[in-house]
């Protein structure tokens, strides 16, 4: 073993690294998160965020993309995937010292989940209810979920990431509904339409409209090229939970 000045292998035991995923989508008019019921110890039978150990030869983004594909069958190209934060409180995993790097995924409507080989069950749960009782989830996943939900709410103010919850083509009303669901508060339709269509690069008209039996056809849009919204679309502070 190569000795390194100041390093005592007895004082620094092995540390494992995992990735955990906060997978958010909109189902049945609610912001929902994917949870899996653990099929083995520790925390057997408890609900948890999907995730797993980083494999040899993987970097963190590769591990996150693999877990995303295994849990949803999709890649980040179908929505949005970003690193959320790292969590390394001693004792967060009773097996050994484990540091996890959490990722946030915002995805359009997904089908009912199927549990993987190491999970007893999987479900979509209301994301705004679950963080209220963080101890109900395994490990420190309640804290991670709360952080992920707040990150999603904040990023809708100054980025076009609300479109990650929408299909490729959508109406302004569809987009407004995303904001209302994620922020948990109604928005004025006219003001929202004006802000969205006047913000440079937020949305781009497709030239097509909806076709329906009721009401006037609505113009269809797709996400524009902007990475940041200027000016931002600010939520009312009372809408924050």
pTM summary value: 0.86
pLDDT score for 119 = 57
Exposure of 148 in the CB half-sphere (CA atoms within 13 A): 35
Bridge pairing between strands 219-223 and 203-209: antiparallel
Chain region(s) in the chain for CATH 3.90.79.10:
16-156
Question: Using one digit for the tens of pLDDT, what is the confidence trace for 37-50?
Answer: 888 889 988 999 99
Task: Decide if domain 16-156 falls under CATH 3.10.20.30.
Answer: no
From CA 111, how far away is CA 117, in angstroms rounded? 18
Which residue intervals of the chain bear CATH 1.10.10.10?
A: 161-239
d(CA 68, CA 134): 23
pLDDT at site 240:
46
Chain-centre distance of CA 107, in angstroms?
7
> What confidence score (pLDDT) does residue 108 get?
87
What torsion do the CA atoms of 123, 127, 132, 138 make, to the nearest 10 degrees? 40
Low-confidence ranges of the chain (pLDDT < 50): 1, 239-241
Is residue 141 within 8 Å of residue 48, measured between CB atoms?
yes
Q: What is the pLDDT, as a whole number, of residue 137?
A: 92
d(CA 121, CA 223) in angstroms, rounded, equals: 35
> Looking at the domain that runs over 161-239, which CATH code has it been given?
1.10.10.10
From the CB of residue 171, how many other CB atoms can be counted at a distance below 10 Å?
18
């Amino acid at each position: 073993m190569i000795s390194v000045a100041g390093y005592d292998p007895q004082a620094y035991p092995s540390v494992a690294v995992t990735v955990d995923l906060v997978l958010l989508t909109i189902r049945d008019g609610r912001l929902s998160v994917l949870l899996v019921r653990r099929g083995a110890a520790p925390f057997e039978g408890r609900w948890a965020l999907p995730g797993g150990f980083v494999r040899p030869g993987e970097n963190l983004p590769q591990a996150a993309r693999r877990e995303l594909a295994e849990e949803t069958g999709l890649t980040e190209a179908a929505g949005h995937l970003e690193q959320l934060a790292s969590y390394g409180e001693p004792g967060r995993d009773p097996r050994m010292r484990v540091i996890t790097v959490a990722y946030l995924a915002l995805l359009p409507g997904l089908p009912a989940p199927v549990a993987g080989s190491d999970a007893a069950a999987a479900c979509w749960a209301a994301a705004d209810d679950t963080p209220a009782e963080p101890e109900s989830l395994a490990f420190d996943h309640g804290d991670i979920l709360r952080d992920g939900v707040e990150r999603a709410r904040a990023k809708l103010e100054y980025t076009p990431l609300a479109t990650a919850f929408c299909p490729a083509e959508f109406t302004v009303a569809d987009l407004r509904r995303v904001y209302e669901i994620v922020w948990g508060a109604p928005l004025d339709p006219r003001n929202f339409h004006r802000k969205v269509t006047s913000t440079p690069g937020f949305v781009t008209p497709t030239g097509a409209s909806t076709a329906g039996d009721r009401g006037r056809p609505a113009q269809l849009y797709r996400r524009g090229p902007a990475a940041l919204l200027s000016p931002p679309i600010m939520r009312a502070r009372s809408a924050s939970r």
